[in-house]
Structures are given as structure tokens and as C-alpha cells.
Amino acid sequence: MVRGRPGTGKSILGLHFLTDATSNDSDALYINLEEAESDIRHNADSLGFDLDGLEFLDLSPDSDFFVNDLSYDIFAPDEVEEESVTDEITQRIRELDPDRVFIDPLTQLRYLSADNYQFRKQVLSFTQFLKEQGTTVLFTSQDTEAEPDDDLQFMSDGIIHLDQAAKGRTIEITKFRGTDFEGGEHSLDIEHGGITVYPNLTPRQYEREFEAESISSGVPELDQLLHGGIERGTVTMITGPAGVGKTTTGLQFMKEAAGRGERSVIYSFEEDKGTLLHRCESINIPIHRMLDQEALHIEEIEALQLSTDQFAHEVRRQVEEEDAKIVMIDGVVGYQLALRGDDQDLTTELHSICKYLKNMGVTTILVSETQNITGPFQVTQEGLSYLGDTIMFLQHLEVGGELEKSIGVLKKRTSDFERKMREFQITEYGVQIGDQLTDLHGVLSGVPELDDPDAEDLEP
């Protein structure tokens, strides 16, 4: 049984079901009780379906009923039409002996029955007849407030729900006798070629062995802060206000990975690709060469273009088919704004993606922007700091009337780390880490004070 509101793709799912049979030299029958065969063929052709070999039993009403006023003054419709429709269906199935039958919609037969009891009895008898013929049946249902389809749900061996939700089009299986199934709502797309389903990401289903080694940034002072770098198969969160250098810091690890012949992927939610390319070349990150050598892939994600399931599918493709070793999500706020879904779903899916990447031995970098340029210290504004095995924070500082930057490590689960705050700069030569900020206090506030008022200004 396929349930869903108008336009959710019920008939298209039926076409998949039938054309899969005909492509494998099996017989399939489309019983259309509402939409005309010509319309079905036209719509199928526009989606790229090949209906060669597919048989139709067209029981849809034609214009003669209206033009010739074929209504009944003495007998009720069920007394006149039910036997005729039933005979046509039975005869055609016996002639063709199909392996698969799609009835669209089965609820149309309700109007040919005297009451719900007779309809239920008719459907049970009909499905039993089809089972005896060795036929697998898919049918659609038109569920309305006046005519609910609860009776059909009880009679069905399987129930598939199609819908349009906050995350876009969805598919959900709630019943499937005799076998297990993946519960929950899963995303789907309808485009040329038909339906594509994007199942929810279940991290426990994916795992591979990897060496838990440290990954260098290529900047000795940054590696020193991290006691060697970040570890493979961990999640590193780089947090800080706008313009402080979060993305550039993450790119340092990708630049070094390219030198080892490893592939990295950036999912850019907040910065367009052209700006990123221009900026990288001006700070000694050879991003065009990395792209040409396929050591880097940049995916610019447009707002509301993907659901969380579709994004997870794309991440999986890069990891499993393209062998990506480092994945950067830039940034977390953009991720939450750009993908379709409610806030709880987005947070849950980001957790699932990070867990999946860890299981696959992929190093994950999450770029998280904090709201305050200076002021009270804030790790993240999304409350997602628990995802990070390592948290690096960058900070703007006002020192002597000038804007400086600092970097520090707040957390590292896999090893010790240097508990110092250092000067941070991005120059034409790339990221540069300076001395420890020993002459300042209140650095995390963003407005530090000199321990010695007569001390000289910081040298970059």
C-alpha cells in the first residue's frame, strides 16, 4: 500500500515497480482506475520511463459518461458497474498472468461497493485471488477525512508513506510483514529518471580500520600547540568570530594532506567558491594546484538546495567513492540555515555525519562562527562543542588601539596540548603563530589588559 497526498509521487513509485519487472522480462500490469492511460504514458515519457512491454487495463472514466449522461436513475452505480469492473480485472489477470500488478488507486473501488463491509470483503477476496495467481501487488490509496483508509492498512502486508515535509519530499515505511526495514522518514527526489531515495545515515552500519596517527598542519608552532597535530578519525572544531582566520587554519591541514597525496573536501555553506580561491592564492595556499591534482574538492552548498539526508549521501560518496581523508564543514551556522529540516533534525544529522566520518577514519573539521567580535568568551553559539574531540579557538584582541588576533586550544581528547595563548597572524606567507601572550590578562574577554602598562606593544 502506497499512501500520500496528491503530488507526492505515488504513481511514479508504481512505474518504478512495474518497469523493473519489464526490464527483467517479467509481465507487469497497470490497472488505472482514475488517470487515463494516455496521460500516464505522457507523464512517464517526460520522466524518462520506458513503458515498452508494460500492459495497461484502462478503467478510467472517459468523456462519454458526461457527454451522453450515462447516469443511473433506477439502479445504484455499485449494482451496475461493480460486476463489470471485477470481471474485466479478473479476466485480464487470468489472460496475462502478470508477476506484478499496480492498482492506481484501489480506493476507487470503494465507490462501487454498497458499504464499507462489502468493500472490505471485496478487497480481501481480490487480494487473495492475486496471491493465488502468484502476483505481487502494489496499490495506491486516497486517504481523506470522509473516507479514511484504515481498513486497507490492516489488510496490507506493507505500507509506504510519501509526503512533503520541512526537509522536502520524504518516504517512510511503517509496516512490512516478514522482514525488517529501516524506520523513520527518508528523503527522496523526483527528477528525470524518476525517484531517488536518500536513506537516513546510520553510523553504526559503517566502519573501517585506520591508523590513529597525528596529522600535521605544516605550521610547526600550531603543531606544537596541538602536541603534534590533530588525530586521524577525530572531529576538530575551529571556533571564533567572523574574519579571524578559521577557514584558513583548517585549510592548512588540507594543504599538508595534499603534499602526502591525500584528498580533502570542503563543503562551503557561507563563502562562495570564487572568493575562497582568490583569498587562498594570496596567502600561500596553492588551492588551484590542489584542485587540478584532485587533492581538493570544493562543494558550494546553496540555501535549501539539499536535505540533511541528501547532504549525508554526498559526504558518503566523497568518502567511499573518492577516498576523501579530510572533510571540512564550513560553517556550522550555514549548515543549519542552508539545509532543509527543523533545528532538531539538523543537529541530529550533523552528529550522525561526524560519527560516520570518525568510524571511517576521516578527519573532520567543523568551522563554527561565534557572534561576538570581542567580549565574553563563547565556544560556539550552537551548543555543539560536545562534537569536537579537539577545539581550537581564535580571538580578535584590541591591544593598544590596534586589532590583533590570538589562538589557543581549549580541549583535546586524544592527547595533551599546550595550554598557552599565542599570537596569530595570516600573512602573504600563510598562517604564522607567534609568541605566548605572557604580558596580557583577560585575553578571553577580547579586550585584554597589559600586566605592565609600560610594556611595549606586541610585535607580530
pLDDT of residue 420: 87
CA distance linking residue 108 with residue 152, whole number of Å: 12
Predicted local distance difference test score (pLDDT) of residue 448: 65
194: left (phi over 0), alpha (psi -120 to 50) or beta: left
Domains 2-199 and 205-450 share a fold: yes
Q: What is the DSSP string of 220-233?
A: HHHHHHTTS-EETT
Side by side, which strands form the sheet with 235-240? 296-300, 263-268, 324-330, 363-369, 235-240, 390-399, 402-412, 422-427, 430-436
0.85 exceeded by the pTM?
A: no
* Cis-peptide, bond into residue 148, ω within 30° of zero: no
What local confidence, expressed as pLDDT, does residue 50 receive?
94
Strand locations in 283-429 (E): 296-300, 324-330, 363-369, 390-399, 402-412, 422-427
Assign a CATH topology to domain 2-199. Rossmann fold (3.40.50)
The number of CA neighbours under 13 Å toward the Cβ of 371 is 4
The crossing angle, in degrees rounded to 10, of helices 116-132 and 77-96 is 10
C-alpha cell at 230: 590533530
Instruction: Specify the pLDDT at position 436.
Output: 85
* 3-class DSSP state of 381: coil
Residue 396's closest CA among 258, 243, 274?
243
Per-residue CA distances from 348 to 234, 344, 352 (Å): 18, 6, 6
| Domain ranges within the chain, ordered by starting residue | 2-199, 205-450
pLDDT tens for the chain, 460 residues long, are 999 999 999 999 999 999 999 999 999 999 999 999 999 999 999 999 999 999 999 998 765 544 455 454 444 454 445 557 788 888 999 999 999 999 999 888 887 777 888 888 888 888 888 888 899 999 999 888 888 899 899 989 999 999 987 778 999 999 999 888 999 999 999 999 999 999 999 999 999 999 989 999 999 999 999 999 999 999 999 999 888 999 999 999 999 999 999 999 999 998 889 999 999 989 999 999 999 999 999 999 988 788 889 999 999 999 999 999 999 999 888 888 888 777 677 788 899 999 999 999 999 999 998 876 655 566 665 668 889 999 999 988 877 777 889 999 999 999 999 998 899 999 998 999 998 887 766 666 656 666 665 555 544 4
* CB contact at 8 A, 47 and 12: yes
**Residue 165 grid cell:** 515535509
Tell me what pLDDT residue 454 has: 56
CATH of domain 205-450: 3.40.50.300
Rounded to an integer, what distance in angstroms lies between the CA atom of residue 62 and that of residue 256? Answer: 69
